[in-house]
Structure 1
Amino acid sequence: MKITQLRYFLVLAEELHFIKAAARLNLSQPPLSRQIQALEQELGFALFVRGHQRVRLTEAGAAFHRDVQEMFAALDRAVTHAKGVARGEVGRIVLGMTGSVSFGVLPRILEQFHREFPQVRMEMQHLIKAEQIEALAGGKITLGLTRSPVRERGMASEAIHQEPFIVALHERHRLAKLKVVPLEKLEGDKFVLYRGNSSPSVADEIIDLCGEAGYYPRIDQDAGEMQTAVSLVAAGLGVAVVADCIRSLHLPRVVYRPLTVRGRKIATRLYAIYRKDDPNTFLKAFLRLAKAGG
């Protein structure tokens, strides 16, 4: 049994389509089919039920898939750890993050990372997106966590988590008693946005959603972060579209409601941003765990 065959198997199990899997592997379909057949012959059981190009995992194939995934995860950890030892690294990752990130998925990601890499020291800095970009460029942080991608040369963005957008309203707002608030009904309201001195920003996404709802928002306040925006809502200074994790921020006189646009639910993404040339051996492992935990 060859490592290459197992990697081919994992890709086909993800795509469930021979042509798409072959394209990801930079192969033509026949060599991929031959390798999968050879693997099945060596194992003594079928991994896939085959249709026309499309396939689905057999029960045995699904069990094998889970075990092979765990095996490669362990191999990744071993390689990452060995590289760190070879370079004489104790291991260190510095995270730059907006304040809202700490309300959501981050604690779960950090817990999992620490479980797998207890020797790596984790440090965190609260930075808005513009500050994260500056810190990345200067090598002061390993990666940033923000609500929008980056466009800066030499930097990359990866979406690691998605959650619904909701709206924060003052308890006396005319729509506060609704179970779900259509964004269309907020036309004319004062909006509190949070740009973080960078572009693109989640504020741009909210403006686009308002455009889909048929209007340009009346922007009355521009806060640096989501939680600051909610504080302004509590003061009666407007409404704010925020990520669902902000529900855990309990402020007097603020209510949170699910939000729709043209009848559909809408979501926001959390991005990991980092330098493409970063040599930190634990960055790839963190990104893997972050996407799995998101």
Structure 2
Amino acid sequence: MGENDQDRLSATALQTIGAVSKLPLVRVDRDAFLRRQFGKSEHLDAVISEGPHVVYSAKSLRKMADGLIRRSATRTSLASFASGIPGNPVVMVAAGGADVAQYFGFAINLAQQIAYLFGEDDLFDGGGELSEEAQMRIIAYLGAMFGAAGAAALVSQTSKVAGENIGKKLAAQALTRTAWYPLVKKVGAAIGVKITKKTVEKTVTKAVPVVGGVVSGGLTYFTFTPMGHGLADTLYRNALGEFDEAMDLNPGFVADQSRAKDQDRE
């Protein structure tokens, strides 16, 4: 993939995330979600203030994630089936685009649930907007869902829990130079490819109303489930302190470090 293609696909991913994040179905209120999941726990206050990962074992949280994934996959499939029924060729492309937005909206919704389960902070700010850091986290989550190369490393770099396990987060400049620029672009491009493919798939399934709905819903369920498990497995490994995926350093950062060492020797 050429650099121009990578830039274009990464931009597509960011634009889609920005647009989809405004859909009502996307946002998950962290505190409300944790209260629903752990409402019967005597340690609810600690779960909300410190995170479920502090109170419960990573293994038990991973098991709980399975239930979240099953329920979310079912809801997503039913929504995809319903939106697959209208088959007017005049609105076929627009409907396909809307279905893709809905698909990724459900993916981001599930990503938040799994992330909050493993102790991550609220993704949205008080005004319901996504910061640049939050966009990077979504790219990391979606990348892990799609099995994109480098996504697991990006998750560990943007993860609150990973930072706790490491002992301290990388300095902001180091994180930007080593991870956010080259790695986010790489993972973002992989997501951009998925968005492009999904748009084509969803447009095609709109051609036959009822059969299209069945195919769309079936494909959604059997693709959405492993996506959820991919992210849950990544966050589970983070919770265990497993950060074994190597990261490529930004050449500019390496050059800066080399110049700094040369100056120290002078």
Using the size of structure 1 for normalisation, the TM-score is 0.20
Using the size of structure 2 for normalisation, the TM-score is 0.21
Choose 1 or 2 for highest CA Rg.
Answer: 1
Q: Normalized per residue, which structure has more strand?
A: 1
Q: Normalized per residue, which structure has more helix?
A: 2
